[in-house]
């Protein structure tokens, strides 16, 4: 197995397009057909202690699953495995654990769980992923539905004061907000960073900052994206915002301004960061190591910047 640490993300002359083909299995109460969303794969039953969430703290898509698990109080119901921040072209690895093995699954690479379920798995080995502990089989890596189902399908096991992350009366608008956040912000920073031409980069840059300006205005008269309570929309935006100044501003050339120079977004991001379940899931050192070491096509030296100063995240946000 190759140990080549040079995955390629930039295609010369092309705009970045994210591969959104994931293993479409879902975990539902009683393995029943869910009320929301597609069923393109197998259904697995909700069962405490059966599954392990594998989610690297460096990855924004994985970070959102860690946050939702914390907010809902599912820590004792679904275990958590955390790969290290760097990976080769083959797999995320458990290099932070003793002997480089996940202590529950006993594997050195997340790829082992993918291959055990799908020998010769042809797509990327991505986090987050849910693995069945007893068999070591991958269940799903379909990240938008993992957090959705944590809320809707694992309700019996939520802590008593868990937040309503998907309020029924706001859901239609929230879906529209989250879709724009995904296409223009969550994925928008990657379109900037992995642009293969000046033209595709500048188009991506304009789209990203148009969306950030929209969010800055939206947050001028409300504490959170949907009003006065935290929802899934806030989780999805937060994981990009918390990486913006340490990574995306410089590494991905998203440099019209820093997050800390947008007053409403900066106050909002600090408000979330200081909320239990958000900032305590963030590891800035792992975040920087992941992007600057793994993306050798845009940072061939592998040097990780010493800055920026991140002490501002714990300063008063004034949004209470």
For the chain, what are the domain ranges?
26-157, 168-314
User: For position 63, what pLDDT does the model report?
Assistant: 98
Which value, in Å, is the radius of gyration of the alpha carbons in the chain? 19
User: For position 18, what pLDDT does the model report?
Assistant: 82
Q: What is the pLDDT of residues 128-182, one digit of tens each?
A: 999 999 999 999 999 999 999 999 999 999 999 999 999 999 999 999 999 999 9
User: For position 5, what pLDDT does the model report?
Assistant: 39
User: For position 7, what pLDDT does the model report?
Assistant: 55
In degrees, rounded to 5, the angle at the alpha carbon of residue 149 between the alpha carbons of residues 143 and 150 is 95
User: For position 3, what pLDDT does the model report?
Assistant: 32
Report CA-CA distances (Å) from 160 to 215, 234, 267, 305, 317: 31, 21, 29, 42, 28
- Is 59 annotated in the active site? yes
For domain 26-157, give its CATH number from 3.20.20.70, 1.10.1270.20, 3.40.30.10, 3.40.50.1110. Answer: 3.40.30.10
Task: Tell me if 313 sits within 8 A of 262, measured CB to CB.
Answer: no
The CATH code of domain 168-314 reads 1.20.1050.10
Q: How far apart are CA 193 and CA 95, in angstroms?
A: 27
User: For position 112, what pLDDT does the model report?
Assistant: 98
Positions in the chain whose pLDDT score sits under 70: 1-8
Q: What is the CB-side half-sphere exposure of residue 70 using CA atoms within 13 A?
A: 16
- Is 192 annotated in the active site? no
Catalytic residue among 22, 51, 114, 190: 190
Catalytic residue among 22, 51, 59, 205: 59
User: For position 1, what pLDDT does the model report?
Assistant: 25
């Amino acid at each position: 197995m190759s140990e080549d640490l040079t995955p390629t993300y930039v295609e010369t002359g092309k705009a970045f397009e994210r591969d959104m083909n994931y293993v479409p299995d879902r975990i539902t109460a009683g393995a029943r057909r869910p009320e929301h969303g597609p069923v393109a794969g197998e259904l697995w039953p909700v069962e405490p202690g059966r599954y392990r969430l594998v989610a690297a703290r460096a990855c924004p898509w994985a970070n959102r699953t860690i946050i939702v698990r914390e907010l809902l109080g599912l820590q004792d119901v679904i275990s958590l495995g955390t790969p290290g921040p760097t990976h080769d072209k083959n797999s995320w690895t458990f290099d932070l654990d003793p002997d480089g093995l996940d202590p529950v699954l006993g594997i050195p690479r997340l790829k082992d769980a993918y291959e055990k379920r799908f020998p010769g798995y042809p797509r990327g080995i991505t986090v987050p992923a849910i693995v069945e502990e007893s068999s070591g089989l991958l269940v799903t890596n379909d990240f938008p539905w993992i957090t959705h189902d944590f809320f809707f399908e694992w309700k019996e096991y939520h802590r008593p004061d868990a937040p309503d992350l998907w309020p029924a009366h706001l859901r239609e608008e929230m879906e529209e907000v989250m879709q724009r956040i995904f296409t223009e912000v969550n994925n928008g920073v990657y379109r900037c960073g992995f642009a293969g031409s000046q033209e595709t980069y500048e188009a991506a840059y304009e789209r990203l900052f148009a969306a950030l300006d929209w969010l800055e205005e939206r947050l001028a008269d409300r504490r959170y994206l949907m009003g006065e309570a935290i929802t899934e929309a806030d989780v999805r935006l937060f994981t990009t915002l918390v990486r913006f100044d340490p990574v995306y501003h410089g590494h991905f050339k998203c440099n019209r301004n820093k997050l800390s120079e947008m007053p409403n977004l900066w106050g909002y991001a600090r408000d979330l960061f200081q909320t239990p379940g958000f900032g305590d899931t963030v590891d800035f050192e792992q975040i920087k190591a992941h992007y600057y070491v793994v993306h050798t096509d845009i940072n061939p030296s592998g040097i990780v910047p010493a800055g920026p100063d991140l002490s501002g995240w714990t300063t008063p946000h004034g949004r209470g």
